[in-house]
Structure 1
C-alpha cells in the first residue's frame, strides 16, 4: 500500500509541474499541454510596456521592439513570438507588416500573444555571420522577458524571411529546448553563423520558391546546402530514419507537405510554390497569403 501511495505521489508531482514556474520545458512538450508560466507570472508590468528598448548584450548596444497586448493580464500566460527581419528591413518593418501578418491572426482568433522584433545590423549584415553575438542577444532577451512578463515558456516561437529565416534557422540548431516551433521563409544554411547542432527535436516549418535564386532550395547537395537540407536536418533530429524526397510544386498552387513518421509533438512541414524569393505567396484566385496563414495554424497546434 505504501509503495502504491509513493508511486501515485510521484506521478501527481510530474503532471502538476507543467503549470509551475521553473519547471523544465521538456516536461511540457505534449500536444495541448498546460501552460508553463515563467518567473514573471503574477508580476506587475510597471513601466515595461509596448515600445522600443535598448539593452547591452555581448558588449553591443542592441534594440528590440516589443508588442504587449493592451489588455495584458499578469495572471494569464502569453505565447511569445519573435520575428526576425530580412535584408533591407528592420524591426520597424516587422511592426509595419503586423509581424509577418501573425498579429492579424492573433487578434482575429483572440489568442494572447506578445510579439518581439529584434534589430540586427551590427556588422554590416542584417544578422551576424561570423560569431554568436546574435545568439547571446536572443538568450538575453529570453531571460529578460521570462523575468518581467508572464510567458508560457512551452510556447515560444520564432519566424523570419530571407536573412531573418537564416537567423531563425541558426537559432533552431541551438535553442531547441527554448523554442517550441519555428517558421523559416526562404532559409539558407550558408553565409550565416551556425552553431554546433544540438540535435534536439523541434517543430519546424519552412517554405522555398522553386525559382528562388538567392536562398536556393538546393545550393549544394555535396555540402547539404539549401532550404531542402534545412528541412531534412530537422526531420533527422526529430527522429526520421529514412529521409523522403520532398514534393515540389509544379503548378501555381502551392504544395505543403508534412513529413510522415514523426512524433505528433515534433512535426516537420515544407511549403513549395512556383515563385521566387518572397514571404508573401498567394494561390490563384486567392487574396490570402498562405505562408502567414499556415505559419499561424502551425504555431497554434502547440
Structure 2
C-alpha cells in the first residue's frame, strides 16, 4: 500500500468545449462558492470525510463560466511532495496549464485505505458547486501520484474517463472497468522498475485502451526528455491523450 504519511492530490480544471452528450454536474448554473486563494501557503478548504477533517484547494479556470461544463483533472504528487509544491514553480501541475490555457486548482489529501472515499467526497463537493462534465474526469501523477491514479482507475473505473500514469508501480489488484490508459516509464528506472509499469498497463490492455510509452535510458523522473530536446514531452503527451476525449 502507498505510504500514508506522504500524500497529496491536486485538481486541475481545464476547459472542455461544449459538446453533444456532455453530462453537466449539479453545480452548472450556480455562482461558485468553492474558491480558494492561489497562494501555495493558504490553508485551503475543509471537508469531513470518513469522520476526519481533510483539506483541499480549488481555483477556478480563468473567466470561469458556470453554464459551461469543464474537464476535471486530478494531478497527484510524488512521495515527499505536497500540494504546495505541485501548485508552484515552473513545472506546476506537471506543466499542463500552459497547454490547456487555463488556471488550475488543488486538492490536498492524506493517503491510505480511506482515500478512494475521500476522492469521491471531493468529486461530489466540487461537482455540486462547479460546472463539470461528469463524462470527462481524469487523473495523472508521477511515482506515488501515478500509483494513486492507478488505484483510482481500479476503484473508480466507472467514474474516470482516462488516466496518465507517469513512472508508477501497482499498489492493489483490480481494474475491471474500461478506463483509457496512458503511461510512460523510463527503461532504466532504478526506483520503480519498468516491470511495474507494464504490470499496471496489462490490467487495462484487455480493453483495447492502453498505451505505454517507453523513455529510453531515463531514470525515475517526471520530466523525461528526448535526446537533444530542451523540454520534457510528458505534459504534451498527457494532454494530447486527455484532450482526444470529447
Counterparts in 2 of 1:1-302, with a 5 A limit? 34-45=21-32, 47-51=33-37, 52-96=44-88, 97-107=91-101, 115-120=104-109, 122=110, 127-128=111-112, 131=113, 133-190=114-171, 194=172, 197=174, 199-218=176-195, 226-236=196-206, 238=207, 262=208, 267-273=209-215, 274-302=217-245
User: 1:157·1:181 contact (CA, 8 Å) conserved in 2?
Assistant: yes
Count how many residue pairs are aligned between Structure 1 and Structure 2.
218
TM-score, structure 2 as length reference: 0.83
In 2, Cα distance between equivalents of 1:70 and 1:115: 9
Which runs of 5 or more structure 1 residues have no equivalent in the other structure?
1-31, 108-112, 219-225, 239-261
* 1:33 Cα deviation from its structure 2 partner: 5.3
CA, structure 1 residues 70+50, in 2 after alignment: closer, same or farther (shift >3 Å)? farther
Higher relative contact order (CA 8 A, sep 6+): 2
Task: Give the whole-Å Cα distance in 2 for the aligned partners of 1:63 and 1:84.
Answer: 15
Q: Residues 33 and 285 from structure 1, CA distance in 2 versus in 1: closer, same or farther, beyond 3 angstroms?
A: farther
Aligned match of 2:14: none
| Distance in 2 separating the partners of 1:207 and 1:42 | 38
Distance 1:198 1:214, change over 3 A: closer
How far apart are 1:235 and its partner, in Å?
0.7
Distance 1:118 1:59, change over 3 A: same
Could you report, residue by residue, the CA deviation over 1:191-229 in whole angstroms, capped at 9, with x for unpaired residues?
Answer: xxx3x62511010011111111221112xxxxxxx1111
Question: TM-score w.r.t. structure 1 length?
Answer: 0.68
Query: CA shift at 1:142, angstroms?
Result: 0.6
* Distance in 2 separating the partners of 1:227 and 1:117: 26
Q: Give secondary structure in 1 for the equivalent of 2:145.
A: helix
1:70 deviates by: 3.1
Q: Structure 2: which 5+ runs fail to align?
A: 1-18, 38-43
The root-mean-square deviation of aligned C-alpha atoms, in Å, is 1.7
Larger Cα-atom Rg? 1
